[in-house]
Amino acid sequence: MDLKLSADKKTEYLNRVRDAIKNPSYSIFVILGFPFILALLGVLLDPFVMPVLLIGPIVTLAYYAYYTGNKLSSAILGLLVFPLMFFYAGPIGAILDFQFERLDRYFEWPYIVGIIDDSWKYSLAHSLIGFLIAFRKKAYLVIALLLFILQLMEFISHVD
């Protein structure tokens, strides 16, 4: 009897989380939170950061876009996932390495503009991918997959 009661409470909590994610007014928390979680994973798994960079943003974007079906917030999440992930990674790494004197350089304009300059083409591609996945139709999903494969090939070609 206790096991069933515990399972009901967990299911109720997950249902509330699902309803909150589907609500467009809470999408700002998802847009800011997913890149933070990916940046934290990237900093913590430093030797294995490449799978987090390659797979993490597209998996979170695909799950969010397909689950909610919200085209606008999916496109915005795709547009901001890479720049925010790299913006969060610098200060998180400095804090985890106890190098607090370096924190001020991560909030200067040249650093922020450098992040935008390095990730604009991936951001635009992810924005289009998120928009296409939100339609939930097979043809759009195939186009989004092809765009991801092209983007992955371009990304891997720049890795030394």
Predicted confidence (pLDDT) per residue in 75-122, tens digit: 999 999 989 999 999 999 999 888 888 888 888 999 999 999 988 988
- State the average pLDDT over residues 139-145: 95
- For tokens 């689950």, what's the residue? 67
Say what the pLDDT of residue 127 is. 94
Flag whether 19 is in a domain. no
Say what the pLDDT of residue 130 is. 93
- If one compares 120 and 13, the residue with the highest pLDDT of the two is 120
62-76, 95-109, 137-151: range with highest mean pLDDT: 137-151
Flag whether 73 is in a domain. yes
3-state helix, strand, coil in the chain (%, to 5): 90, 0, 10
Rg over CA atoms, the chain: 18
Flag whether 1 is in a domain. no
Flag whether 45 is in a domain. yes
Domain count, the chain: 1
Say what the pLDDT of residue 101 is. 87
Q: Which residue type is seen at 123?
A: S
Say what the pLDDT of residue 70 is. 86
Distance of CA 110 to the CA centre of its chain: 23
pTM above 0.85, yes or no: no
Flag whether 20 is in a domain. no
Flag whether 103 is in a domain. yes
- For tokens 């030394």, what's the residue? 160
- Alpha carbons 69 and 134: distance in angstroms, whole number: 4
Flag whether 11 is in a domain. no
Mean pLDDT taken over the chain: 85
Flag whether 7 is in a domain. no
What residue numbers bound the domain in which 105 lies?
Answer: 27-157
